[in-house]
Amino acid sequence: MILVVDVKANKIKLSLISPGNEKSEIALDLDECMGRGVLKKTVYGLAKRKKIRAIAFRTVFGGKTFSGPVKVNARFFDKFMNLTRAFPFYVPRMKMLIEEFYNSFTKIPLFVFFETAFFSKLPVEEKYYAISFELSKYYNLSRHGFHGLYHGFNAELAGRNDKVVSIVFDKQTTVAALNKGRPYSISLGYTPLEGIMSNTSCGDLDPGIVFYLMKSHGMSIYSIDDTLKNESGFKGVTGYDLDKTKLMSLYGLDKKVDLAFEIYKNQIIKYMGEAVAVLKGLDKIIISGEETKALMPFILKLLKDISFLGVNLKCLPFADFDQSMELTSDNSDIAVKINNKPLSEIIVLHTRKLLK
């Protein structure tokens, strides 16, 4: 059995996965279990019943330091803490959590997987922003990307020479260009604010707007930061405090919701177009992420919009969604595939490889 520890914004998800990929999951409130022994007790309880061979952590940020998964040892923590400057709230909490496991389960190997590691191989002109090199260097400002575990797995699924646009529909939506197992572009940059809008964050925005609001209307940087991160995106455009999977039920019925999904679609198309331009062609589109199933009507609309590229969709309804499946017919120039493998199973696959 392998235990996958996935830390979300307020929750921590523990997934215990057997060699036959049978899964049992427990979700805990992050604030309640940090440093109070709750986690330890829960995992001890799990370990009593079934033998845990390894514990794998999913971490959102590895900076330049971690370009692949690592086995936790005493030196890991200092290296990890060096990332605090970039993520001052996240890194220390994550370190505390991993440390708790490291001290409690001394005989079980621990591995840490980073969502940014896959993008350490981005080409140099993709990594940097068009600001002064000195500034980039001084503050370590470069594109880190996100959803590296999904995109990396999608790169493995494709043929070596396939030019792939990989899309992850999750709380955050990202689009990556992949070829020969490597990333060539990614929509999300130095922070999750760049790229495609999410439930509450705005996605790409003219920086001139920020200066305009500050200089001409006296808004503070803190209030703008809060607005762009927590009051924008689907919430801001629709006025409904619902996530996009729930808003799907109003799609086609409410003008504000329709506008939000149109903006969202155009942002995805922007990054798909960019990816095709960077790859100089397209063979496959691979879609993954936790929200894929819920957003399926929207995804089909998106694919119809780009059908002129040679995307020939199969007739609806599609077969059992729990499996990975092809959405396109055999005569389609561009294959569209849904990779429905959950993140925890992707992490388990990598962990098994590392254990070997």
Partner 1 sequence: MKYKQTAVLALNCGSSSLKYRLVLMPDNQELISGEVERVGIKTQKKALIRHKLFGKTRSIKREIADHGQAFDHVVKLIKQDALINKKIRIDMLAHRYVHPGNLISDTAKITPRLINKLSKTLEFAPIHNPVIFRMITQCIGNYPRIPQYVVFDTSFHKTIPASLATYGLPRDLTRKYHLKKMGFHGISHKYVMHKACEFLKVKENTRKIISCHLGTGGASVCAIDKGKSINNSMGFTPLEGLIMNTRCGDVDLGLVFYVMFKENYSAQIIDKTLNKKSGLFGLFGSSSDLRDIIEKVAKEPRAKVAFNMYIKRIKKYIGFYSLLLKKADVLIFTDSIGVDSLLVREKVVQGFEFFGMRMDKDKNDSYSCGIKDISGKNSQTKILVIPTNEELMIAREAYKEFSHDIGSRRKGK
CA dist 128 → 120, 206, 266, 273, 304 (Å): 12, 18, 24, 20, 33
Minimal distance, residue 219 CB to partner 1, in Å: 9
Q: How far is the CB of 330 from partner 1 (least distance, A)?
A: 21
Interface with partner 1, residue 26, by CB under 8 A: no
Cα gap 245→134, rounded to integer Å: 42
- Could you tell me the CA-to-CA distances from 312 to 30, 307, 331 in Å, in that order? 44, 6, 7
Joined together, the tokens standing for residue 260 give 């939000």
Minimum distance, C-beta of residue 179 to partner 1, in the bound complex (Å): 12
| Integer angstrom CA distances of residue 122 from 118, 181, 190 | 8, 11, 13
Largest CA distance in the chain: 63
> Which residue's CB is nearer to partner 1, number 203 or number 289?
203
Q: Least distance to partner 1 from the beta carbon of 344, Å?
A: 28
- Name the minimum Å distance from CB 181 to partner 1: 20
CB of 294 vs partner 1, minimal distance in Å: 20
Residue 303 touching partner 1 (CB under 8 A) = no
344 binds partner 1 (CB under 8 A): no
Q: By C-beta, is 231 or 254 nearer to partner 1?
A: 231
Please report whether residue 95 would count as binding partner 1 according to CB under 8 A.
no
Residue 176 pairs in a beta bridge with: 166, 186
Pick between residue 125 and residue 322 the one whose CB is nearest to partner 1: 125
Is there a contact between 190 and 144 (Cβ–Cβ < 8 Å)? yes
**If binding is defined by CB under 8 A, does position 44 make contact with partner 1?**
no
Q: Name the burial class of residue 85, with classes exposed (0-12), middle (13-18) and buried (19+) by CB atoms within 10 angstroms of its CB.
A: exposed
- Min. distance of Cβ 262 from partner 1 in angstroms? 4
Instruction: Give the one residue of 281, 297, 323, 329 binding partner 1; rule: CB under 8 A.
Output: 281
Q: How many residues bind partner 1 (CB under 8 A)?
A: 77
Cβ atoms of 205 and 197 closer than 8 Å: no
Contact residue for partner 1 among 37, 45, 273, 297 (CB under 8 A): 273
Distance of alpha carbon 254 from alpha carbon 248, whole angstroms:
10
Of 60, 21, 158, 42, nearest to 101 by C-alpha is 42
Instruction: Print the binding letters for residues 180-199 with partner 1: x by CB under 8 A, - otherwise.
Output: -----x---xxxxxx--x--
Should residue 213 be labelled a site residue for partner 1 when binding is judged by CB under 8 A?
Answer: yes
Does 252 contact partner 1 by CB under 8 A?
A: no
By CB under 8 A, residue 65 contacts partner 1? no
Residue 321 in contact with partner 1, rule: CB under 8 A: no
Of the residues 82, 211, 249, 252, which one makes contact with partner 1 according to CB under 8 A: 211
C-alpha dihedral sign at 105, 106, 107, 111? positive
User: 105-144: which residues touch partner 1 (CB under 8 A)?
Assistant: 124-126, 128-135, 139, 141, 143
